[in-house]
Amino acid sequence: MIFLRQYCAIFVWSVFGIPIECLVQVEIACPGFVDTRRGDGALGFSAPAFEAAVEESNHRYSGILNFSAVFLSEEERTQALDGAVLPGDACVELVAHWYYTQRRFPSDGVSIIMGTGQADWTRLHELAANWNTLYFQTVSYVRSGYRLPAAPVLSTGPVSLLAVGQTFVNLLQFYRWRTVYLVSDLDSPGVFNGLARQLDDLSGADSFNFTVFRRVIKARSLERSREPYGVLLDDFCKISRVMVFFGRANFVRRMLIDAWTRNMTNGEYVYLSWGSADARRHDKFGNFSWSYDDHHDEIARRAFGSLLVIQQLEPVRNERSLSALASLLAQLRQRVRKLFNISYTEREQPREEVVASYASIILLAQNLASTSIYRHDAPQLAQRFLNRTFSGEFDDIYFDGSGMRRRQTAVLHLSERAEQLEMFLLESTDGNSELQEVRNISRDWPGNSWPPRNEPLCGYNNERAVCQKLVLGSFIAELTVSCLGCVLLVGTFTGHRLLRIHRIQYETGWVLEHQHLRIRPILLTSACHLSSASANIHGEASVCDTHAEA
């Protein structure tokens, strides 16, 4: 440190020929909202962490760097404006106001923007680019739409929708699953909907030629009926074999139970979902366990064999670092009382988000202290973060080449032996994010047909040329069954017509409401039983093939 300080002084001496005080003032603006009920991205959670990190950095680099952070709270500004509602992008207004009127060292200080919840990434990035300052985003960053040359956004948040979405794309590519049935549930936390949008965007931009059928549901109103996901599954089995379900774990479990009763967990179908590795801390994402101690447990256990879950691995912390973290978190809960006169419990405190906020300023300090020439040049400064791992007190943070933090991500599958989800693919974090197999699940996969095909061998309607001979051979047998089925069919025909019209109307992006379900489950059940009877005769045919054309 003494060395650095001398180096700095010598540098100033030799360039300007004048000895000046070499203390660099670093001013950090943290826009956001304080109210912790609005989300994990609240300043109520991150502000005390920023404050503690500023104090820690000032202590570590005293005499070289002097940090200060200001919290630009939406609520305070609204009060100052006498309750007048701020425009949608309040953060942008607040930051601009700070930049032009509130900074104490506007000419020679270093300015930094530290985005929290509800930041408008693109507009903040645009401002940062214009001012040549660095912009960090500590929660929920997707991707800035700002395209002119600028320092990248450095995103340090623990859950990156973009990174998780990319893992889904990698997984789909890995097994050549191109036809994706994407379900997002509006009754689950917002992160699921964000993930669905992200995957939709990524798959659209990918050269792999995905076909995505996106459906929006409201799981809570669906689950009031007897077979809540019947209509959804019926729609799914006609157009795809790969379902990505973004919703709480308990909804996924219920959907799988319905799938089991329709023989849609026979290994031909694969269901993908996302969850948190730490269910205890993330109640709102649900518990990815088949065992809920209800009468569905046994079916759920078998149905779970068709499920793959993507999870980010929790950081491994030793005893010492855990106790240091616990005391930091307790100290931050003390601080927030003084800062905003609010309080919350340890359970309510989003641990990883808080650690990320703290680490962002510690990293910044580390980097600013180790360079003296690039402090005012944001693109150069940002380069020093890319493709690097920073070992922190509580966590290692790795930034990829685009400035986004990557965490190790795994794909899990139910292990027959252990009866719980276990990792079988691991995504490397060294920049190319390849999936590596760490366990062979061929034996555990239902029907021993791992990996399932993107499409049924005979096509969704048994129409493929390869299967025509087979169809002809069993034609007579089928005829007999069909005749038996005729009586039933006539009965269901009218209902089917209605259903079909309805489905065309809602081809994309429909919302399944409870009232739509009143007549259908009964109709569909009888239709599917019939078709599974003929599927048995075909041998090759999939369960719900014939009834689509009935």
Which positions touch ligand NAG (CB under 6 A)? 23, 66, 68, 104, 207-209, 263, 266, 279-280, 287, 289, 291, 341, 383, 386-387, 401, 431, 437, 440, 442-443, 532, 535-536, 543
Closer by beta carbon to ligand NAG, 277 or else 310: 277
Closer by beta carbon to ligand NAG, 209 or else 345: 209
Q: How far is the CB of 93 from ligand NAG (least distance, A)?
A: 22
Q: How far is the CB of 535 from ligand NAG (least distance, A)?
A: 6
Closer by beta carbon to ligand NAG, 179 or else 291: 291
Owner of token pair 């685009």? 402
Closer by beta carbon to ligand NAG, 101 or else 442: 442
Q: How far is the CB of 376 from ligand NAG (least distance, A)?
A: 17
Q: How far is the CB of 225 from ligand NAG (least distance, A)?
A: 23
Closer by beta carbon to ligand NAG, 104 or else 295: 104
The CB-based long-range contact list for 205-208 (8 Å cut-off, 24+ gap) reads: 206/169, 206/173, 208/169, 208/172, 208/173, 208/178
- Strands 307-312 and 409-415, how do they pair? antiparallel
Closer by beta carbon to ligand NAG, 398 or else 506: 398
Q: How far is the CB of 4 from ligand NAG (least distance, A)?
A: 17
Closer by beta carbon to ligand NAG, 6 or else 440: 440
Distance separating alpha carbons of residues 363 and 397, to the nearest angstrom = 9
Distance separating alpha carbons of residues 147 and 149, to the nearest angstrom = 6
3-state secondary structure of 537: helix
Backbone angles phi, psi at 378, to 5 degrees: -60, -45
Closer by beta carbon to ligand NAG, 30 or else 517: 30
Q: How many CB atoms lie within 10 A of CB 82?
A: 6
Distance separating alpha carbons of residues 542 and 263, to the nearest angstrom = 10
Q: How far is the CB of 536 from ligand NAG (least distance, A)?
A: 5
Query: Sign of torsion, CA 233 235 240 243?
Result: negative
What CA–CA distances, in Å, run from 296 to 149, 302, 543?
55, 10, 23
Q: How far is the CB of 123 from ligand NAG (least distance, A)?
A: 25
Closer by beta carbon to ligand NAG, 346 or else 513: 346
Q: How many CB atoms lie within 10 A of CB 420?
A: 13
213: exposed, middle or buried (Cβ count in 10 Å: 0-12, 13-18, 19+): middle
Q: Which residues contact 83 (CB under 8 A, 6 or more apart)?
A: none
Q: How far is the CB of 70 from ligand NAG (least distance, A)?
A: 9
Helix orientation angle between 43-60 and 351-369, rounded to the nearest 10 degrees: 30
Helix locations, 375-467, DSSP H: 378-383
Distance separating alpha carbons of residues 548 and 246, to the nearest angstrom = 26
Owner of token pair 């953060």? 91
Distance separating alpha carbons of residues 389 and 328, to the nearest angstrom = 23
216 pairs with which residues across the strands?
A: 184, 511
Report CA 203 to chain centroid distance, whole Å.
15
Closer by beta carbon to ligand NAG, 217 or else 528: 528
Q: How far is the CB of 58 from ligand NAG (least distance, A)?
A: 7
Q: How far is the CB of 340 from ligand NAG (least distance, A)?
A: 9
Q: How far is the CB of 505 from ligand NAG (least distance, A)?
A: 28
List % helix, strand, coil for the chain (3-state, nearest 5): 45, 15, 35
Closer by beta carbon to ligand NAG, 36 or else 289: 289
Which amino acid type is present at position 163? A
Say if residues 71 and 47 touch (Cβ distance below 8 Å): yes
